[in-house]
Structure 1
């Protein structure tokens, strides 16, 4: 198996037909078909079902595509890194942000990259913390800023800041704005943002998370829908002040401190541990950290810096 075979295979997978893949790769259909047959013979399994119009990947083909995508992307990054040097950062970097992180530093990051690294192609996406490992491992993103990450030898996570959690909603729904205990808030109509496979992005204590999930009436994977629900008085949210800051500043929503126990969550910056850092990745990582520090020190982001 070589890089050309993987590139041709990926083209067939993405185009869904040998003719379209051949046009894309600028090779003859017969040559593409031969490379595919050799690859299937080497792996000992069919990678596509031949259909009257096009092809459909088998289970083996779908699994190989995940590997091929990661390998080809790493090769592209390595090529760009060798061609360029530290004085002219170039290439392509994809960053996955938790909602609060992209809200706080997403636009400033784009501005800094535009000014400092005009040859760098930057892709930003909002991701749920529960899907961080999957997206890093499959090379969908190169860098993440997400919450409450579990230790995993495949990844390198560095804590950046810690945020205190509060109860957010209308005062008539929450019963006021004074401090409320964890036990008492479980009696209120709770809405939670279900992140990935669990609410781990809310906090890191499994026992408390389980009780929140058991008592929450609504689980919504949309910040806009949660904001509308809070404004309508449907329920209240365990979150941070920053997540709905504009409504809190406008006075349409208020917060209640949570006590006994106090709740918090930690933001981590993460990447694959076995992938050599490129100049582009190092530059974007450093910008993310610098912008986070600046936002906290300017009190635009109510949090405590780690370390």
Structure 2
């Protein structure tokens, strides 16, 4: 099995017909069919079921496509990295960011890449922390900027900053703004939390505390905008960081109270696949993400505490 076979296989999968794939790849249908037959013979499985109007991937075909996409993407990145070594940073890097991270550094990152690395193509994806990690592990993105990632030998993790969590809601629901509130007292209020799973870890990394929040929650959502709308309508309150609902806090629609006994904190980390060698482009984008996060903390735009020395590395 070689890259050309995988490339042609991916084309057939994506186009759903040999003729369309052959047109896209500018090869004869017979040549494409031969490559597919050789690949199926080598693997000992049928990758597509033939239908009147094209082909449909089998279960084996679906699994191979997932692997092929990751392999072809890694190969392209390696070629671009070595080709451009010692020259201007170029290539394509995909970054997945949790909501707060995108809010804080998404636009500044785009601005820096545009100004300093015009040959670098950047793709940004926003999703909840759990979903972002799944995208990383499936090789759909190169870097994940997420909160409270789990211990996983497949991940290389760099903690960057730490946020203190607060209770957010309408003042008539949560009480006196900025007055500390005990964790046990939060459990007496109607709570709205992120749905259970990896994304819920972004609220608090302590499993026991998280279970207590989940048991008392009135609503569970996977939507940041849905949670925001529910809070403004007075349907409940939520545990989050100030940046999470900053515009509503600034406008007075919502208020925040720091949580005590215990304090709740979460760590922002930059994650990569552990066994994937870093390209020059990836290293550049990683450094920019760290630098912009530290700058946001130093300027007060991000109410958090840096956990690395901003002067200790090439940031």
Coarse TM-score class (shorter-chain normalised): over 0.9
Mapped partners of 1:86, 1:196: distance in 2 = 43
Q: Does 1:275 align with 2:283?
A: no
Matches within 5 A, 1:94-243: 94-177=94-177, 178-194=179-195, 197-243=198-244
Corresponding residue number in structure 2 for 1:23: 23
Corresponding residue number in structure 1 for 2:258: 257
Q: Which runs of 4+ in 1 moved over 4 A?
A: 195-198
Q: Is the 8 A contact 1:181 1:258 kept in 2?
A: yes
Aligned partner of residue 124 in structure 2, secondary structure: strand
Mapped partners of 1:86, 1:104: distance in 2 = 31
- How far the C-alpha of 1:44 sits from its partner, in A, is 0.8
- How far the C-alpha of 1:132 sits from its partner, in A, is 3.6
Question: Normalising to structure 2: TM-score of the pair?
Answer: 0.95
- How far the C-alpha of 1:289 sits from its partner, in A, is 0.5
- How far the C-alpha of 1:55 sits from its partner, in A, is 1.0
Q: Does 1:34 align with 2:2?
A: no
Q: Which 5+ residue runs of structure 2 have no aligned equivalent?
A: 309-315
Q: Is the 8 A contact 1:129 1:195 kept in 2?
A: no
Mapped partners of 2:59, 2:87: distance in 1 = 44
Mapped partners of 2:220, 2:54: distance in 1 = 40
Aligned partner of residue 200 in structure 1, secondary structure: helix
Mapped partners of 1:166, 1:20: distance in 2 = 54
Mapped partners of 1:86, 1:245: distance in 2 = 42
Mapped partners of 1:196, 1:96: distance in 2 = 18
Mapped partners of 1:172, 1:107: distance in 2 = 34
Question: Normalising to structure 1: TM-score of the pair?
Answer: 0.97
Q: Is the 8 A contact 2:98 2:132 kept in 1?
A: no
- How far the C-alpha of 1:175 sits from its partner, in A, is 2.8
| Distance change (3 Å), C-alpha of 1:194 and 1:106 | same
Corresponding residue number in structure 1 for 2:311: none
Aligned length: 307
Mapped partners of 1:110, 1:241: distance in 2 = 23
Mapped partners of 2:236, 2:205: distance in 1 = 23
Q: Is the 8 A contact 1:190 1:216 kept in 2?
A: yes
Mapped partners of 1:129, 1:250: distance in 2 = 27
- How far the C-alpha of 1:197 sits from its partner, in A, is 4.8
Q: Which 5+ residue runs of structure 1 have no aligned equivalent?
A: none
- How far the C-alpha of 1:196 sits from its partner, in A, is 5.3
Corresponding residue number in structure 2 for 1:293: 294
Q: Is the 8 A contact 1:195 1:201 kept in 2?
A: no
- How far the C-alpha of 1:105 sits from its partner, in A, is 0.3
Q: Is the 8 A contact 1:86 1:279 kept in 2?
A: no
Alpha-carbon displacement from aligned partner over 1:249-270 (angstroms, at most 9, x marks no partner): 1111111111111101101001
Alpha-carbon displacement from aligned partner over 1:217-270 (angstroms, at most 9, x marks no partner): 111222222111111111101001111101111111111111111101101001
Q: Does 1:85 align with 2:85?
A: yes
- How far the C-alpha of 1:164 sits from its partner, in A, is 0.5
**Residue range with higher mean Cα deviation, 180-189 or 78-87:** 78-87
